């Protein structure tokens, strides 16, 4: 196997890879509140010490869709501290950035902005926790992107077709095509892959010389029939896939035998669920790429709070526990205390020699009490470890495996055991809604709406706090059904109307694409309705404050002059306009590139590249006593007008070499620099 020359630094990309940082998780917890911020600083510090070319994040930088001010402030503070500086960026971007960042008002990479001094660029896709929502489809990453501290890419809002255009990077003789796809509901993306509605565009020039790197944030393990993305769906010309969303650390690249590409799953950098996958040691990766060769170096995180977990099955210890013994509960409690003490001793030994390790570990003991046993008081048990563990309320988890009786004539088979869903498994809202209506009585069955549409509306209501989602969906479906009945000219007979409505509902259920469009349009109406309400509330609050000032004038205890001096009716300044800026004047590296699609026949056509002008209108506002708030205007950016199609590269012509961690030729990298 060929090796990478460590002295040839000018031709080697060094990329720090991390996913699922979940900033703000348990930020109000007195013990674990700062864990995510401390680990994020450690990740950025590793990037600066290793002098990486850029940082690549695989989604879920934030834990909440609407992070708190503390979380956003801490993130901005860390990015400014570690990612800004005078160290020159040594790679260039060859693709049309107006296409790569077309959702941004500043469609160029941040280190090429003449007003910013970026030493380590950060590229990130969004995850399912921090995905774009609301009438303007904004997310927390857009705030960081607007501030010039992060490059948000991989956005796609279309439910009909997804075209993934890569960011083309070049350093010396090494070229990387960086693909990204932010989180999309798994069932929708699964269906789009099956219907061949996902296309990965490829460079038209020397397509075999590019190292193809793909970042995705979806379910990798199967949670349902279509609630995941099989690895076989991805194109075989990809060299490495960085897979986010899965929290178990499997960062060492693993080769897919069918598609021949490698997959690296960095996992999360913080424990967010007390499940076995989270107990694996947390790492980030330092990826070296030269030509078509790569090497992933694992870096263990030292500030992550240790997590130890163990399972106990009481029925497996008949010599210790007898359900008929009146003192069996006390014996079980003593046995659990012994297990917890052993885990605490193990955690204490791991912390020796590492002063950055948090003092209190996370401990989890799962107890299967099936077989006639009774659980003891968890709260009383937790009181004994209040000052020794980080999660005293969650130390013990009692569960019981249930036997499924299978009837076959008169014989019963007790051999099959069915366990409860594994701890840490997420139950989705739409699945619960669908299950409820499918098993409900006929009188409460849905006759107009579909279970799928109702499930997605309820999920928007629960997860994204869209309070009008259900109401708007009902209105939208009702209007559409009324139009259908009018077009059919159905007789005003109850039986015929019910029959037509039933047929219309069944046809919508079969046409899943049309149903997706309906649900999406209803959600957009709900978000627009919420935005209008926010504007009205803001305007009414301003009017109320004005009324209070006017009332203050009539107060006989105050002088007229003092009352007028406190009035807030006049605008004190003049609004300043900003200078217009042309996005095409951002350096010679922002030139258009021709691509080929990886899905269809080879041809010489190329898609139309374009650039976009950003114009800010200068305006001066006259002094007025009251200015009502202006509503937000959605700005839409153009999409690709035409694409050339390109067949996938044969998997037999792969040219990727993977090196293990044992022979590390990068012990003393050269420090050649290039001006920005």
Q: How far apart are CA 406 and CA 414, in angstroms?
A: 7
Confidence of residue 471 (pLDDT cuts 50, 70, 90): confident
Verify whether residue 129 is a known catalytic residue: yes
Q: Which pLDDT value is given to residue 536?
A: 61
What is the percent of the chain with per-residue pLDDT over 70, rounded to a whole number? 68
pLDDT score for 579: 43
The dihedral region occupied by 260, where left means phi > 0, alpha psi between -120 and 50, and beta the remainder, is left
| Range of lowest pLDDT (252-266, 504-518, 563-577) | 563-577
DSSP state of 285: E
The confidence band for 470, taking pLDDT boundaries of 50, 70 and 90, is confident
Nearest to 216 by CA among 201, 232, 229, 202: 229
The pLDDT assigned to 158 comes to: 85
Neighbouring residues of 498: CB distance < 8 A, sequence distance ≥ 6 = 447
Closest to 585 in 3D by CA, of 562, 613, 564, 608 = 613
Asked if 337 contacts 392 with a C-beta cutoff of 8 angstroms, the reply is no
Instruction: Please give the backbone phi and psi of residue 394, each rounded to the nearest 5 degrees, phi first.
Output: -115, 20
Say what the pTM is.
0.66
668 token code pair: 């003393």
The answer to whether 637 touches 96, Cβ cutoff 8 Å, is: no
- Whether the predicted pLDDT of 566 surpasses 90: no
> Other CB atoms closer than 10 Å to residue 342's CB: what's the count?
12
Q: How many residues are present in the chain?
A: 676
Sequence-distant (6+) residues with CB within 8 A of 609 are 96, 98, 99, 592, 593, 594
Q: What's the Cα-to-Cα distance from 9 to each of 6, 12, 172, 365, 598, rounded to whole Å?
A: 6, 5, 9, 48, 32
Q: Rounded mean pLDDT of 608-631?
A: 40
**In contact, 17 and 53? CB cutoff 8 Å:** no
Rg of the chain over all Cα atoms, to the nearest angstrom = 29
Among the options 22, 129, 247, 288, which is catalytic? 129
Q: From CA 514, how far away is CA 508, in angstroms rounded?
A: 7
pLDDT of 265 over the 80 cut: yes
Strand partners, 176: 169, 211
Taking only the tens place, the pLDDT of each residue in 592-613 is 455 555 544 434 443 343 333 4
CA angle 203, 204, 209 (to 5 degrees): 60
Q: What pLDDT, in 10s, does the model give residues 130-167?
A: 999 888 889 999 999 999 999 999 998 888 899 999 99
Instruction: Write out pLDDT tens, residues 340-355.
Output: 999 999 999 998 888 8
Q: Is 183 helix (H, G, I), strand (E, B) or coil?
A: coil
- How far, rounded to the nearest angstrom, does the alpha carbon of residue 232 sit from its chain's CA centroid? 22
Largest separation between any pair of C-alpha atoms in the chain: 97
Structural contact between residues 341 and 284, judged by C-beta atoms closer than 8 angstroms: no
* Structure token pair of residue 286: 């330092």
Comparing 629 with 532, the larger pLDDT belongs to 532
Other C-beta atoms lying within 10 Å of the C-beta of residue 387: 8
- 264 phi/psi in degrees, rounded to 5: -120, 125
Rounded CA separation 133/297 (Å): 36
DSSP track, 325-358: -TTHHHHHHHHHHHHHHHHHHHHHHHHTT-TTS-
Q: What is the mean pLDDT of residues 379-386?
A: 94
In percent, the amount of the chain with pLDDT more than 90 equals 54
Q: Give the pLDDT score at 180.
A: 98
Whether the per-residue pLDDT at 359 is higher than 60: the answer is: yes
Local confidence band at 382 (pLDDT 50, 70, 90 cut-offs): very high
- 372: its two tokens: 């006639």
Q: Would you state the structure tokens that stand for residue 68, as one six-digit string? A: 């708190």
Residues 102/104/108/112 CA torsion (nearest 10 deg): 180
Q: Quick check: 362 and 271 in contact, CB under 8 A?
A: yes
Residue 535 confidence (pLDDT) above 80: no
Burial pattern 498-510, b for ≥16 Cβ within 10 A else e, equals eebbeebbeebee
Using alpha carbons, select from 569, 452, 575, 582 the residue that is nearest to residue 522.
452
Nearest-angstrom CA–CA distance, 433 and 421:
18
Quote the strand ranges of 229-333, DSSP E: 240-244, 250-255, 262-265, 283-290, 293-300, 307-313
Tokens representing 442? 């006929």
Assign 417 a pLDDT band (cuts: 50, 70, 90): very low
End-to-end Cα, the chain, rounded Å? 35
- Dump strand ranges (E) for 353-433: 362-368, 396-399, 402-403, 406-408, 411-413, 417-418
Locate 530 and state its tokens. 């919420």
- Greater confidence, 85 or 514? 85
């Amino acid at each position: 196997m060929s090796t990478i020359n460590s002295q040839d630094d000018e031709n080697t990309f060094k990329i720090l890879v991390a996913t699922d940082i979940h900033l703000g998780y348990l930020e109000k917890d007195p013990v674990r509140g700062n864990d995510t911020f401390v680990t994020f600083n450690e990740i950025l510090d590793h990037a600066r010490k290793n002098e990486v070319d850029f940082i690549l994040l695989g989604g879920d930088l934030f834990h909440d869709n609407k992070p708190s001010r503390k979380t956003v402030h801490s993130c901005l503070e860390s990015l400014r501290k570690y990612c800004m500086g005078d160290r020159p960026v040594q790679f260039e971007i060859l693709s049309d950035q107006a296409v790569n960042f077309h959702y941004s008002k500043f469609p160029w990479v941040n280190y090429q902005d003449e007003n910013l001094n970026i030493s380590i660029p950060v590229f990130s896709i969004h995850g399912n926790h921090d995905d774009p929502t609301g009438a303007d489809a904004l997310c927390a990453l857009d705030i960081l992107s607007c501030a010039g501290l992060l490059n948000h890419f991989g956005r796609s809002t279309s439910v009909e077709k997804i075209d993934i255009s890569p960011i083309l990077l070049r350093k010396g003789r090494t070229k990387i095509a960086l693909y990204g796809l932010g989180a999309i509901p798994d069932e929708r993306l699964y269906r789009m892959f099956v219907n061949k509605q996902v296309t990965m565009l490829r460079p038209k020039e020397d397509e075999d010389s590019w190292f193809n790197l793909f970042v995705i944030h979806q379910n990798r393990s199967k949670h349902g029939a279509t609630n995941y993305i099989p690895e076989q769906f991805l194109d075989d010309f990809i060299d490495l896939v960085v897979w986010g969303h899965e929290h178990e650390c499997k960062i060492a690249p693993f080769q897919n035998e069918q598609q021949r590409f490698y997959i690296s799953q960095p996992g999360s950098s913080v424990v967010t669920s007390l499940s076995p996958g989270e107990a694996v040691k947390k790492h980030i990766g330092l990826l070296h790429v030269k030509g078509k060769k790569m090497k992933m170096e694992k870096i263990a995180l030292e500030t992550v709070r240790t997590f130890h977990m163990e399972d106990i099955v009481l029925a497996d210890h008949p010599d210790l526990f007898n359900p008929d013994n009146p003192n069996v509960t006390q014996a079980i409690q003593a046995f659990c205390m012994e297990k917890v003490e052993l885990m605490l001793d193990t955690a204490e030994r791991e912390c020796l020699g590492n002063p950055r390790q948090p003092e209190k570990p996370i401990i989890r003991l799962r107890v299967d009490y099936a077989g006639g046993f009774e659980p003891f008081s968890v709260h009383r048990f937790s009181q004994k470890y209040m000052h020794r563990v980080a999660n005293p309320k969650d130390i013990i988890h009692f569960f019981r495996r249930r036997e499924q009786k299978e009837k076959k004539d008169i014989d019963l088979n007790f051999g099959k055991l069915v366990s409860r869903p594994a701890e840490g498994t997420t139950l989705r809202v739409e699945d619960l809604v669908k299950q409820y209506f499918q098993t409900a009585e006929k009188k409460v069955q849905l006759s107009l709406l579909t279970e799928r549409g109702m499930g997605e509306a309820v999920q928007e209501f629960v997860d994204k706090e869209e309070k009008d989602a259900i109401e708007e969906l009902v209105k939208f479906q009702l209007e559409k059904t009324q139009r259908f009945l009018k077009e059919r000219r159905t007789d005003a007979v109850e039986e015929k109307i019910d029959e037509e409505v039933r047929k219309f509902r069944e046809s919508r259920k079969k046409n899943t694409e049309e149903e997706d469009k309906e649900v999406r349009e209803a959600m957009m109406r709900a978000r627009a309705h919420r935005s209008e309400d926010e504007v009205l509330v803001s305007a009414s609050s301003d009017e109320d404050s004005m009324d209070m000032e006017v009332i203050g004038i009539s107060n006989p205890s105050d002088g007229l002059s003092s009352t007028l001096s406190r009035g807030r009716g006049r605008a004190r300044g003049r609004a300043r306009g900003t200078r217009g800026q042309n996005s095409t004047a951002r350096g010679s590296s922002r030139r258009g590139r021709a691509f080929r699609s990886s899905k269809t026949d080879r041809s010489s056509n190329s898609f139309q590249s374009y650039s976009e002008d950003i114009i800010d209108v200068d305006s001066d506002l006259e002094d007025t006593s009251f200015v009502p708030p202006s509503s937000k205007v959605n700005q839409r950016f153009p999409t690709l007008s035409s694409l050339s199609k390109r067949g996938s590269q044969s998997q037999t012509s792969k040219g990727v070499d993977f090196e293990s961690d044992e022979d590390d030729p990068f012990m003393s990298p050269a420090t050649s620099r290039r001006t920005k």
